[in-house]
């Protein structure tokens, strides 16, 4: 029996893995330039963490979580998202006692049992940031700016910011009642999922991709914000304008998780059809309380790395491609292998990217491999070279070659 990878998962290798590593490196560097430090949480947590924070009526909890029992019968879940685990870690490790702001970024796998399709996988990877400790709308603006920069630094153009406020526990109860009353007249127009959502969490209807026409007929939260939410939303818009960040107000925009409050946003790239949202985020001032802590304001966003990789502009694809070897050792006979490895070790310690051809294949095939790898120089070692303690070096671009001493190889390459 030959095993296959589970449906909805991927193997990363070759050029894809090189680009993947390059993307992760750039994302980490960007986060650090904004003052964020890395955090790594377990890939599985107690199931109750997600049930309580993401929402029992959400699709993630009701349909998509990978949940299992451990040896003691405790319910554990592979993390479907990482904001709740970050907040759990923030509280559990006493970081809330230091005051001020804490800025975290993360890169890692998430797991959701969903129907696999283009850009959507059951094991997927996210880059995300969480800014914890301030309710200042300037922090919201900085997070939105940073999410835009994620894509700008890879050469994306024509990006749009879609912006909304989803209110808070003060103004949402009254709006919920208004929304439920409005939905009474549209019950027959709702899809099956939204018929359930109307009873459990009616605001989630705005996240449905099927009930487009119904959503247009419903009241929106931005007409029912309390004074503090309205003030926060207006201040955020002013700061974004001051930063020359264009945005489009979308009163139908909500996030798919229950813990969001006030600011909700997405970064869109028109032209990608129904999958035009590259990343999204928002404020979650009540999450710390849901995790067993006090009131700690926070905001963040997450970006799917698969979606980023699959939509990279051509220039970024080329920049993130495999690195060309500086030197490719071509070896004739078994005797030359040890010397080639010894010389390669010296060159690597001096910063050169070196490949040793140790397959024992014919010289012609080794040369072809060196050429396909894009090596700048090939270095030939055979019996004659060993006896003379010299090597033959060839410039793969010009075809020029010459014999040099083994001790002088690094200097010639420089």
- If one compares 322 and 42, the residue with the highest pLDDT of the two is 42
Residue 409 above 90 pLDDT?
A: no
pLDDT > 80? residue 200: no
Percent of the chain whose pLDDT exceeds 90: 53
Q: Kindly report the average pLDDT of the chain as a whole number.
A: 89
- The pLDDT assigned to 273 comes to 62
Beta bridge partners of 165: 263
Q: Give residue 410's pLDDT band: very low, low, confident or very high (50, 70, 90).
A: confident
Do the first three CATH levels of 14-156+276-318 and 327-413 match, i.e. the same topology?
A: no
Using DSSP bridges, classify how beta strands 354-356 and 327-331 pair: parallel, antiparallel or unpaired.
parallel
Q: Which CATH class is domain 327-413?
A: alpha beta
Confidence label for 148 from pLDDT (cuts 50, 70 and 90): very high
For 80-104, the pLDDT digits (tens) are 999 999 999 999 999 988 888 999 9
Average pLDDT over residues 362-383: 87
In this prediction, what percent of the chain has a pLDDT beyond 70? 98
- Of 3.40.640.10, 3.30.930.10, 3.60.20.30, 3.30.70.20, which CATH number belongs to 14-156+276-318? 3.30.930.10
Domain extents in the chain: 14-156+276-318, 327-413
Using the predicted structure, report yes or no on whether residue 256 has a pLDDT greater than 70: no
Q: What is the pLDDT of residue 58?
A: 75
**Pair of tokens at residue 342:** 């010894």
Q: What is the pLDDT of residues 154-197, one digit of tens each?
A: 999 999 999 999 999 999 889 888 888 888 877 777 887 787 77
Q: Looking at the predicted structure, is the pLDDT value of residue 274 above 70?
A: no
- pLDDT higher than threshold 90 for residue 27: yes
Whether the model pTM is above 0.75: yes
Higher pLDDT, 203 or 71: 71
């Amino acid at each position: 029996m030959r095993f296959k990878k589970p449906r909805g998962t991927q193997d990363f290798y070759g050029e894809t893995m090189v680009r993947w590593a390059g993307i992760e490196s750039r994302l980490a560097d960007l986060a650090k330039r904004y003052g964020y430090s890395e955090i790594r949480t377990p890939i599985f947590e107690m199931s109750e963490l997600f049930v309580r924070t993401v929402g029992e009526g959400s699709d993630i909890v009701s349909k998509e979580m990978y949940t299992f029992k451990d040896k003691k019968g405790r319910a554990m879940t592979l993390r479907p998202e990482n904001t709740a685990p970050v907040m759990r870690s923030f509280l559990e490790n006493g970081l809330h006692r230091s005051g001020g702001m804490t800025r975290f970024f993360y890169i890692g796998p998430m797991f959701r049992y969903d129907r696999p399709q283009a850009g959507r996988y059951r094991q997927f990877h996210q880059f995300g940031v969480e800014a914890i400790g301030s309710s200042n709308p300037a922090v919201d603006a900085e997070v939105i700016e940073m999410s835009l920069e994620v894509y700008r630094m890879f050469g994306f153009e024509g990006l749009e910011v879609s912006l909304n406020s989803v209110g808070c526990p003060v103004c949402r109860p009254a709006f919920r009642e208004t929304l439920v009353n409005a939905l009474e007249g549209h019950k027959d127009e709702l899809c099956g999922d939204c018929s359930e959502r109307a009873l459990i969490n009616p605001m989630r209807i705005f996240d449905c991709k099927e009930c487009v026409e119904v959503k247009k007929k419903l009241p929106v939260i931005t007409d029912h914000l309390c004074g503090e939410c309205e003030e926060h939303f207006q201040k955020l818009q002013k700061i974004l304008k001051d930063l020359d960040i264009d945005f489009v107000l979308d009163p139908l925009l909500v996030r798919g998780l229950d813990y969001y409050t006030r600011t909700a946003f997405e970064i869109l790239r028109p032209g990608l059809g129904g999958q035009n949202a590259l990343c999204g985020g928002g404020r979650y001032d009540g999450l710390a309380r849901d995790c067993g802590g006090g009131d700690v304001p926070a905001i963040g966003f997450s970006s799917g790395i698969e979606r980023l990789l699959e939509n990279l502009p051509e220039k970024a694809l080329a920049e993130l491609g495999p690195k060309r070897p500086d030197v490719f050792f071509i070896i004739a006979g078994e005797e030359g292998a040890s010397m080639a490895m010894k010389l390669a070790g010296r060159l690597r310690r001096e910063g050169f990217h070196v490949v040793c051809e140790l397959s024992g294949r014919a010289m012609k095939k080794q040369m072809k491999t060196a050429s396909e790898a894009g090596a700048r120089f090939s270095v030939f070692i055979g019996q004659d070279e060993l006896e003379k303690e010299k090597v033959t070096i060839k410039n793969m671009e010009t075809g020029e070659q010459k014999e040099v001493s083994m001790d002088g190889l690094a200097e010639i390459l420089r």
